[in-house]
Amino acid sequence: MMLQHLLPYLHPGAKVLDVGSGSGYLAAVLYHLVGEGGKVVGIDHIPELVDWSVGNLKKDGLGKALESKEIEIIAGDGRQGYAAGGTVICRLYDVVAHQELFPGPYDAIHVGAAAPTVPDALLEQLASPGRMFIPVGSFSQSIQQIDKDENGNITRKRIMDVRYVPLTDRDKQVNF
């Protein structure tokens, strides 16, 4: 269902952000849709998942895309996205780097965990035009499709009720 909603924005050369990238499966699918020249950034706050994801992508034959940075999997706070021109420092393959070196805005953003409200940082990193697919809410949750038009105007559409794990920080998830 998520791909059905994001597909109009997953054209060749598109930039995509996958928040809560986990095993890397969706990053691989997204890369195959945007193709060479596209960019997929997966972000997860658990470094072990980042390492696992990178290993999975290499096993899937996508090592070249990782080397060329057409796919990047990073450890960081997905609620902050992964923007160009930021001052946040993230871990990238065991190397500390400043965000101003990296991509954004994104044609499509997928969020794989529920945020209590839509993070402003993700809205800012959404391209004009662009689309975000995100579960929103604490106890009562729904998938929202958020579109930004070419003038930067935002529209929201409630797709369906869901139940996702919370979009949180590493300590809250690991030490539950």
Q: Is the pLDDT of residue 173 over 60?
A: no
Of 20, 13, 9, 12, nearest to 134 (Cα)? 20
Mean pLDDT for the chain?
87
Taking only the tens place, the pLDDT of each residue in 11-69 is 999 999 999 999 999 999 999 999 999 999 999 989 999 999 999 999 999 999 999 99
pLDDT, tens digit (0-9, with 9 covering 90-100), for 51-63:
999 999 999 999 9
Instruction: Find out whether 110 and 26 touch, Cβ atoms under 8 Å.
Output: yes
Tell me how far apart the alpha carbons of residues 123 and 64 are, in angstroms, rounded to a whole number: 30
Helix (H) or strand (E) holding 174: helix 170-174
Question: Would the pLDDT of 7 be above 90?
Answer: yes
3-state secondary structure of 80: helix
Q: What is the structure's pLDDT at 39?
A: 95
pLDDT tens for 137-146 read 998 999 999 9
- Mean pLDDT for 85-96 is 43
**Cα separation, 114 vs 88, whole angstroms:** 22
Per residue, what are the HEC states of 22-52?
CCCHHHHHHHHHHCCCCEEEEEECCHHHHHH
Give me the pLDDT at residue 17, please. Answer: 96
User: What is the residue type of 63?
Assistant: G
State mean pLDDT over 109-133.
Answer: 95
| Separation of alpha carbons 34 and 53, rounded Å | 19
Whether the pLDDT of residue 96 is over 80: the answer is no
| Nearest-angstrom CA–CA distance, 48 and 174 | 11
